[in-house]
Amino acid sequence: MDLDRLVHAQHGVCSTAQALASGLTEDAVRWRVSSGQWRRLGRGVYRAQTGELDWYGRAHAALLRGGEGAALALTSAEFVHGVSRTPPPW
* Nearby residues of 19 by Cβ (< 8 Å), 6 or more positions away: 3, 28, 29, 46, 48
pTM of the model: 0.89
Report d(CA 6, CA 40) in Å as an integer: 17
Tens digit of pLDDT for each residue in 23-42? 999 999 999 999 999 999 99
1 pLDDT above the threshold of 90: no
Domain boundaries, given as residue ranges, for the chain: 3-80
Tell me which residue of 2, 17, 3 sits closest to 63, measured CA to CA.
17
